[in-house]
Amino acid sequence: MGKIAFVFPGQGSQTVGMGISVTEENDQAKSIFESADRRLGYSLSDIIFNGPAEQLTLTTNAQPALLTTSIAILKCLEEARIQADYAAGHSLGEYTALVAAGAIGFEDAVYAVHKRGEFMEEAVPNGEGTMAAVLGMDREALQKVTEEITAQGHSVQLANLNCPGQIVISGTVKGVELASATAKENGAKRVLPLQVSGPFHSELMKPAAQKFVKVLDEIEVQDSKIPVIANVSAAPMNQAADIKEKLIEQLYSPVLWEDSIVKMLDLGVDTFIEIGPGKVLSGLIKKIDRNAKTYAVQDYESCNQVINEIKSKM
């Protein structure tokens, strides 16, 4: 068996009721939800377990909720002594990866991503920014489109390079509309507008990044125990100063997910364990390399299945 990477999902994967089964079966998982509530000063766990979905979907709740659920599920794997050689997360998931890698304490991370969500919401007035997924177009051609539209005074950038033929663009409503239309004219198969509350991972998030510096100064960031593949560079990071810098940049830079997976494959990873609700990342990894082995651990049952399967190969 080659090396193992833990990967963690980002915003959009949240569902009401996620994490319930692990809290019923695992005391450590249960205590993760309790410490999130304690650190935030309100019952995040009640919103996670009982909804309503509108509350859970708010960026300020969705971000700490996903981090909390993913770390609670991770506790089950850790108890079984399943360890990773590398970690990575998609956007918000990078924080979960850093907790898993020992670079940031859980309570500090929950506080930080709650504030991150707040600043992202505040950076651009509601309804002024948006995102869209562009399917079937290569990055160089799409990059050219976004640069041309931005030069015309309508800000739009590449935000998530998810897998071959799936790139998300982000910017002002007008910028995304114009870029979407131009992309279609230039051969994009489809463009899907995304239901998001703002233009994440675009230049318009720079005000959020400026505010967020102060939050990262309030929490303790250490060198990580295993390398975390950074969204902004698709390169391993484990020095505390580098981690802080990359987390600030991440707010307004594209998430290089495809490049990150390719990097881990180059480093000898052949098994990816997605930890958290949904199977979005497993799907993307298969599109990047269909020979990669992927597991999605999203509840107590799937956790036990994966533990048994990995242990049988050790």
- Strands across the sheet containing 236-237: 236-237, 228-229, 86-89, 3-8, 269-275, 293-297
Contact 68, 34 (CB under 8 A): no
Provide the sign of the torsion angle of the four alpha carbons 106, 111, 114, 116, taken in this order.
negative
Beta-carbon contacts of residue 55 (< 8 Å; ≥ 6 apart) = 47, 61
> Could you say which of 70, 201, 224, 282 is catalytic?
201
> CB-hemisphere CA count at 13 Å for 115?
21
Supply the DSSP symbol for 71: H
| H/E segment holding residue 149 | helix 139-151
User: Is 201 annotated in the active site?
Assistant: yes
User: Is 91 annotated in the active site?
Assistant: yes
Contact 88, 103 (CB under 8 A): no
> Could you say which of 13, 45, 91, 197 is catalytic?
91
CA-to-CA separations, 105 to 28, 32, 270, in angstroms, rounded: 15, 11, 28
The Cα 241–Cα 182 span in angstroms is 40
Nearest to 120 by CA among 42, 195, 47, 60: 60
Residues annotated catalytic, as ranges: 91, 201
